[in-house]
């Protein structure tokens, strides 16, 4: 730039230092650390595609849904909170990813899975000015150097020669960059080339005086923000630079930090001295700055960033004051409050409002006298008590009424003051309202002028008076008791005067017809409710605002009375004054907000502080409607005004989402171990929970910022309770505790009573799985188990019955066998006895004959044969009798000390003749030392005899008898009787010990089948055993095992049952 150009530039800077425009109302709402922000220093702002507001601070990243702030942390990052707490820049790409420029690098936040990813750098420097191009590439300034990150290729490109401090894409996708050298230039991302270098500031200026802090591309010009030279504009057509804002009102440099486009050619400029709202068309500006006594002003003058949201709301991030929000909806309620050091209303409690010419509005307060508001200039003129004769007699104003030239004022307990409107001075005083009848009052509560220009004065404890301006005196109106308290006066379309009293309802009187009367609304219950306001609507219904009984209506015929109370939707039954708008809505001030009642539909809307009111508590007697339909209402904290047509504009429903999900009072974070959410609850439509996660709560929010506290939320859970909707009011949480396993559908919706919108219904399917012992598979298992148990029980019962029947059958068979057996025993016993007797008789003579046989030698052999067989028969009968004794427990034992070896030899000797006769080889294996044991001699010899007899009977050629000592550690001995007869099958080893059993192959051999049973029974009576051992070496081996000692020796012991 040449020296001449520099001079021209400086001249332009001075020439276009434009003066401020007339201030318009801007009402900011403030969000700071106390409201949930992580830090009060706001550096960057963003609204994503879903409507969520993202706030970058010096203390980390925050998201805001209108109700709650949420801070984000990246626990996997070595730098702690999101890599670095200093959030310089925010941007959203085309996939909905949030890009975050910090003091130590750049990160990408995935809102679906709520995870962070950091772009790796060799050196982690500060990141500024993140922008996204049409190809979804990420552009940013890293330590003032231009960089590009290609998301598809995951490739980072540096442009070392391209330095800047701010940048922006134009409509053609070209990047405009402002640098530290006072230049702006265009960079082509496709060609990687620079063009259109414009030297905005003198190149010869010091380095710190030519920094371009912001660039905004418009259709026909470029707005340029600087740190030392304010706001400039450059025209590509004329190539001229023009100064728009250069100096603050204190003549300091304007330091521009951000610029955004507003509406109607307005642009918001964030500076170190507040916000400038600049209009390019009119070249006028309004400066918004911090006013300590104004609750609605900016919270801090150092404004770092700006954002215009989708609802046309404006956000300003400041260095010390946190976040500031300006709602276009809140601006619709103009607010007049007492702000020290400025031209404003003098008091807080606005009691009376009136006007005569609609150019000036007179406002009486209860704490600071009288105010006059000039509607053309917006300026206030204040009147109060000065002690002079022409000043107000008292600053607490209750009654107020204006005529063409005079203002009638009712100061608290100071009668009536009359002011000249031209001079603003009090020209008359009436300290007491007196009609001369003895009843007076100094407390004027209400002043009203009738259609025939009569001025009525309502007093406390004095009744109602008529003031004659010409005669300057008062006349009592006797249709009301003299000591009545008059709070409201109104004349209806028939000329009837209606008067509201303290505790006697409403009185009425028609001067023309003389009709008068009194209506009470609390019949039979003593005193009536106080009537604070009276109004007749366009349909001639009379409306009464009561203090405690809600809204009362009287029909045009004045016969039917109806009430509207909190039960019908009113926020309070304490009402003050009413006005009707041109759309037939009744506006009513109350103790809890401003009420709008549609006279036809009777639908009620309530506006509160959340909608932009100063306070929810209005004041008595303070309502006024001008000729243009604008309404004014007084509150205990100032005055509001609004156009009803602007307020009742129906708005569209904002985005509505589920915002958080907590299980057992702990928030669920997607992707964590054992987390029930795979992705953010904003993107989730189904949740699966275990049985021990059945207590949970769900958060939700409509992403609307003008009046979030006026939004009501309704929910219902299909499968729980009734199907009706539950109204949570402004609560954004629904709680559920210990839900039973099953599938539920959570439904929630949002409505705005004032805005008139209703959101879409959001649904979330919740599946609570039962514990494994209550699962479907478990119940299937239980059913199968029950069926199996039933089957097994039935089968067991069947088998038990079969077994029982089998046992019965076996018992029956056993009893039958026993009977047969007993019969056989009895038979053999009887036969034995029968045989034994003749045998005995035979044996005696045979023995005598034998003694003399030598005398008859020829008969000797025959008699010997007879004797031999007789002995055999006697032996057999003896065996049968012994077996019988064992069966009936009559065989006794006497254990005596015997030489077992010797007894065995004796028994073998007795059988030797028979052995030799059969040519059987006998082998005896006895120990050298004789074995001594305690046995019953008779029983022992019977055992040996039976076993020897059995061996001799079935042996073919060999018998082996072996005496063995017992196993080591046992007190017993063993005798084995082996023979080489036919092997006995294994399955018959026990059968042969049964009484009378004989193998079929041995049926031709002599025997009774009771020898072995007797032997085993006698062995068992010795506490021993007799078994048939394994067939080995071609031998059948019978093994007899007997104890050497007994517990009782030499004593008898009863037989045990077999």
Residue 1033: what pLDDT? 86
What span, in angstroms and rounded, lies between the C-alpha atoms of 415 and 435? 13
CA 1009 distance to own-chain centroid: 90
Q: How many angstroms separate the CA atoms of 483 and 488, rounded?
A: 15
Closest CA to 475 of 450, 498, 491, 456: 456
Q: What is the pLDDT of residues 430-446, one digit of tens each?
A: 999 998 877 889 999 99
* 337-428 matches 529-640 in fold: no
pTM strictly above 0.85: no
Closest CA to 178 of 207, 210, 131: 210
Q: Is the pLDDT of residue 868 over 90?
A: no
Terminal Cα distance for the chain, rounded: 137
Q: What is the mean pLDDT of residues 873-886?
A: 63
Is 946 a residue whose pLDDT tops 90? no
Please state, in angstroms and as integers, the Cα–Cα distance from residue 790 to each residue in 163, 358, 795, 798, 801, following that order. 86, 95, 8, 12, 16
Q: Which is it for the CA torsion 76, 48, 747, 752, positive or negative? A: positive
Q: How far apart are CA 657 and CA 699, in angstroms?
A: 9
- From residue 25, give the alpha-carbon distance in Å to each of 36, 297, 331, 371, 593: 27, 10, 7, 19, 21
Compare 168 and 827 and report the one with higher pLDDT: 168
Q: DSSP letters of 670-701?
A: TTSTT-S-SS-GGG-SEEEE-GGG--EEEEEE
Q: Write out 451-515 in H/E/C secondary structure.
A: CCCCEEEEECCCCEEEEECCCCEEEECCCCCCCCCEEEEEECCCCCEEEEECCCCEEEECCCCCC
Mention the CATH class of domain 889-1053: alpha beta
Which has more confidence, 693 or 966? 693
Which tens digits make up the pLDDT trace of 411-435? Answer: 999 999 999 999 999 999 999 999 8
What is the pLDDT, as a whole number, of residue 624? 96
Residue with tokens 């009367």: 517
Residue 654 has pLDDT above 70, yes or no: yes
* pLDDT of 972 strictly over 50: yes
Q: Among the listed ranges 211-225, 515-529, 897-911, 972-986, which one has the minimum average pLDDT value?
A: 515-529
Phi-psi group of 424: left, alpha or beta (phi > 0 → left; psi -120 to 50 → alpha; rest → beta): left
pLDDT of residue 234: 95
**Which value, in Å, is the radius of gyration of the alpha carbons in the chain?**
61
Distances in whole angstroms, Cα of residue 108 to Cα of each of 61, 90, 113, 138, 664: 12, 10, 12, 10, 31
Give the span between the Cα atoms of 648 and 603, in whole angstroms: 13
Residue 482 has pLDDT above 80, yes or no: yes
CATH class of 337-428: mainly beta
Q: What is the DSSP string of 408-419?
A: EEEETTS-EEEE
Q: Mind listing the pLDDT tens digit for each residue in 194-236?
A: 999 999 999 999 988 999 999 999 999 999 999 999 999 999 9
- Strand residues in 200-313 grouped as ranges (E): 212-217, 222-226, 231-235, 240-245, 256-261, 266-271, 274-279, 284-288, 303-308
Give per-residue pLDDT as tens, 593-649.
999 999 999 999 999 998 899 999 999 999 999 999 999 999 999 999 999 999 988
> Does 802 have pLDDT greater than 70?
yes
Q: Domain 656-774 class?
A: mainly beta
Q: What is the pLDDT of residue 424?
A: 93
More confident residue, 234 or 503: 234
- Indicate the pLDDT class of residue 1052, thresholds 50, 70 and 90: very low
Q: Where are the domains of the chain?
A: 337-428, 432-511, 529-640, 656-774, 783-862, 889-1053
Asked whether the predicted pLDDT for residue 1 surpasses 50, the reply is no
100-146 pLDDT tens trace: 999 888 999 999 988 888 888 766 788 999 999 999 999 999 989 99
In this prediction, residues 340-356 reach a mean pLDDT of 93
Residue 96 has pLDDT above 50, yes or no: yes
Strand partners, 107: 100, 118
By CB atoms closer than 10 A (0-12, 13-18, 19+), residue 681 is buried
Confidence check: pLDDT of 721 > 80: no
Residue where the block lists tokens 């010091």 = 206
Residues 552-599 pLDDT 10s: 999 999 999 999 999 999 999 999 999 999 999 999 999 999 999 999
Element spanning 100, H or E? strand 98-102
Domain 529-640: homologous superfamily in CATH = YVTN repeat-like/Quinoprotein amine dehydrogenase (2.130.10.10)
Tell me the pLDDT of the chain averaged across its residues: 87
The pLDDT of residue 703 is above 70: yes
Report d(CA 603, CA 585) in Å as an integer.
10
């Amino acid at each position: 730039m040449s020296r001449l150009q520099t001079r021209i530039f400086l001249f332009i800077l001075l020439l276009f230092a434009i003066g401020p425009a007339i201030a318009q109302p801007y009402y900011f709402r403030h969000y700071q650390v106390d409201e949930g922000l992580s830090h009060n220093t706001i550096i960057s702002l963003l609204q994503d595609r879903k409507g969520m507001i993202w706030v970058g601070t010096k203390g980390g990243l925050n998201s805001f849904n209108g109700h709650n702030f949420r801070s984000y942390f990246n626990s996997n990052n070595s730098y702690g909170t999101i890599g670095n707490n200093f959030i310089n820049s925010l941007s959203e790409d085309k996939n909905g990813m949030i890009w975050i420029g910090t003091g130590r690098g750049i990160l990408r936040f995935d809102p679906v899975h709520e995870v962070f990813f950091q772009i790796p750098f060799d050196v982690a420097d500060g990141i500024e000015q993140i922008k996204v191009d049409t190809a979804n590439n990420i552009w940013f300034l890293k330590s003032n150097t231009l960089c590009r990150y290609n998301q598809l290729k995951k490739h980072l490109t540096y442009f070392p020669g391209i330095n800047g401090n701010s940048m922006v894409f134009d409509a053609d996708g070209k990047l405009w960059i402002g640098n530290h050298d006072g230049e702006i230039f265009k960079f082509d991302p496709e060609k990687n080339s620079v063009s259109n270098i414009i030297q905005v500031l003198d190149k010869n200026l010091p380095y710190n005086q030519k920094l371009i802090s912001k660039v905004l591309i418009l259709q026909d010009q470029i707005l340029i923000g600087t740190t030392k030279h304010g706001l400039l504009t450059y025209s590509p057509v004329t190539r001229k630079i023009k100064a728009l804002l250069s100096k603050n009102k204190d003549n300091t440099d304007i330091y521009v930090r951000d610029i955004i486009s507003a509406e109607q050619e307005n642009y918001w400029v964030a500076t170190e001295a507040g916000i400038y709202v600049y209009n390019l068309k009119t070249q006028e500006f309004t400066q918004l700055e911090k006013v300590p006594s104004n609750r609605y002003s900016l919270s801090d003058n150092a404004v770092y960033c700006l954002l215009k949201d989708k609802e046309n709301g404006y956000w300003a991030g400041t260095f010390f004051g946190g976040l500031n929000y300006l709602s276009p909806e809140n601006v619709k309620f103009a607010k007049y409050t007492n702000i020290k050091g400025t031209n404003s209303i003098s008091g807080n409690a606005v009691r009376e409002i009136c006007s005569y010419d609609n150019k000036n509005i007179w406002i009486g307060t209860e704490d600071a006298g009288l105010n006059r508001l000039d509607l053309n200039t917006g300026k206030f003129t204040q009147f109060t008590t000065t002690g002079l004769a022409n000043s107000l007699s008292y600053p607490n104003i209750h009654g107020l009424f204006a005529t063409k030239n005079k203002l009638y004022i009712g100061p608290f307990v100071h009668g009536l003051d009359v002011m000249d409107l031209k001079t603003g001075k009090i020209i008359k005083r009436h300290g007491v309202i007196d009609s001369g009848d003895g009843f007076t009052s100094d407390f004027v509560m209400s002043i009203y002028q009738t259609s025939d220009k009569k001025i009525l004065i309502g007093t406390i404890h004095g009744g109602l008076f008529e003031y004659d301006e010409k005669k300057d005196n008062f006349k009592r109106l006797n249709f009301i008791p003299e000591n009545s308290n008059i709070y409201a006066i109104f004349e209806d379309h028939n000329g009837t005067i209606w008067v509201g009293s303290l505790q006697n309802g409403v009185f009425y009187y028609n001067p023309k017809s003389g009709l008068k009367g009194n209506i009470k609304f609390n019949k039979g219950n003593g005193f009536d409710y106080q009537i604070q306001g009276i109004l007749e609507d366009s349909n001639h219904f009379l409306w009464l605002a009561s203090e405690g009984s809600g809204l009362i209506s009287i029909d045009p015929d004045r016969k039917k009375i109806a009430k509207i109370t909190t039960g019908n939707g009113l926020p309070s039954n304490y009402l003050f004054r009413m006005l009707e708008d041109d759309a037939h809505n009744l506006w009513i001030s109350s103790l809890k907000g401003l009420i709008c009642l549609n006279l036809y539909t009777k639908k009620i809307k309530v506006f509160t502080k959340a909608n932009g009111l100063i306070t929810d508590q209005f004041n008595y007697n303070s309502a006024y409607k001008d000729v243009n339909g604008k309404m004014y209402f007084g509150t205990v904290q100032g005055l509001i005004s609004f156009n009803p047509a602007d307020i009742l504009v129906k708005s569209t429903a904002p985005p509505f989402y589920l915002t958080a999900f907590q299980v057992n009072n702990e928030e669920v974070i997607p992707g964590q171990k054992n987390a029930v959410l795979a992705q953010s609850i904003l993107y989730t439509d189904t949740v699966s929970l275990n049985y021990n996660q059945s207590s949970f709560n769900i958060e939700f929010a409509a992403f609307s910022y003008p009046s979030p506290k006026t939004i009501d939320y309704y929910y219902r859970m299909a499968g729980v309770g009734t199907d009706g909707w539950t109204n949570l009011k402004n609560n954004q949480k629904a709680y559920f505790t210990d839900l039973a396993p099953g599938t539920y559908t959570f439904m929630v919706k949002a409505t705005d009573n004032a805005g008139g919108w209703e959101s879409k219904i959001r649904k979330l399917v919740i599946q609570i799985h039962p514990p494994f012992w209550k699962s479907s598979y478990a119940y299937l298992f239980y059913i199968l188990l029950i069926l199996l148990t039933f089957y097994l029980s039935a089968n067991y019962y069947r088998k038990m019955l079969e077994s029982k029947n089998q046992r019965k059958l076996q018992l029956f068979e056993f009893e039958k066998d026993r009977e047969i057996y007993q019969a056989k025993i009895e038979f053999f016993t009887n036969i034995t006895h029968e045989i034994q007797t003749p045998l005995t008789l035979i044996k005696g003579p045979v023995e005598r004959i034998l003694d003399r046989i030598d005398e008859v030698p020829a008969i000797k052999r025959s008699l010997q044969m007879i004797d031999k067989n007789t002995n055999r028969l006697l032996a057999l009968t003896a065996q049968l009798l012994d077996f019988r004794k064992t069966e009936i427990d009559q065989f006794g034992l006497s254990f005596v000390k015997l030489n077992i070896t010797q007894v065995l030899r004796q028994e073998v000797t007795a059988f030797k003749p028979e052995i030799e006769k059969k040519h059987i080889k006998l082998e005896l294996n006895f120990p050298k030392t004789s074995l001594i044991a305690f046995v019953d001699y008779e029983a022992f010899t019977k055992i040996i005899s039976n076993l020897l007899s059995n061996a001799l009977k079935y042996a073919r050629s060999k018998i082996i008898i072996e005496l063995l000592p017992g196993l080591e550690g046992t007190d017993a001995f063993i005798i084995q009787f082996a023979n080489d007869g036919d092997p006995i099958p294994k399955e018959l080893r026990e059968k042969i010990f049964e009484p009378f059993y004989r193998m079929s192959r041995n049926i031709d051999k002599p025997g009774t089948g009771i020898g072995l049973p007797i032997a085993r029974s006698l062995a068992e009576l010795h506490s021993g055993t007799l078994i048939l051992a394994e067939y080995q070496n071609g031998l059948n081996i019978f093994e007899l095992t007997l104890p050497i000692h007994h517990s009782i020796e030499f004593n008898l012991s009863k037989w045990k049952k077999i």
